[in-house]
Amino acid sequence: MEIRRPNETEFNEILLHSPKAVSDGTLGEAKPSMEKIKKLVEPLIEKGGYYLIAIEENQLMGWVLAGAATDQFTDKAVGFIYELFVLEEFRGAGISKLLMNSAINELKTAGYSEVRLSAFSGNKAIKLYEDIGFTTRTVSMSKSI
């Protein structure tokens, strides 16, 4: 297995799977169209964000979308993991951890001293994030009215 940045064909394949990735990541709350995905991803890519893919024998297995963010209170620049997704048939093989560690290493090399991410409460990936050292920094709450 190789972890690297995608070529154009692989990038387009990621986009095809992205509605499912967002739906899974939001525990089914969001069901975005391809147009919505492009509106979410294009600004991130334009600002230097990038995908890293896990691929083996030309088979896309998963990806992580990483880049920069700015703390809304302190204006501190931080690395940010925007998306992590592994195709269902490849889950349970440690690919998520490899992708996360690769992204973290790239962000560290780029000069960031901190990496952040957001996840929906109840997302199974939270256990992975905790296992690799992420801790809860803020809590976002909601109430249906």
For the chain, give every domain's residue range.
2-131
Place of tokens 């905790």: 130
Give alpha helix (H) positions in the chain.
Answer: 8-25, 34-46, 95-109, 125-131
In the prediction, which pLDDT does 99 show?
98
Considering the domain 2-131, what is its CATH architecture? 3-Layer(aba) Sandwich (3.40)
pTM of the model: 0.91
pLDDT, tens only, 67-85:
999 999 999 999 999 999 9
Percent of the chain scoring above 70 in pLDDT: 100
In the prediction, which pLDDT does 23 show?
79
In the prediction, which pLDDT does 74 show?
94
- Output the average pLDDT for the chain: 94
- Name the nearest CA neighbour of 51 among 88, 1, 20, 9: 9
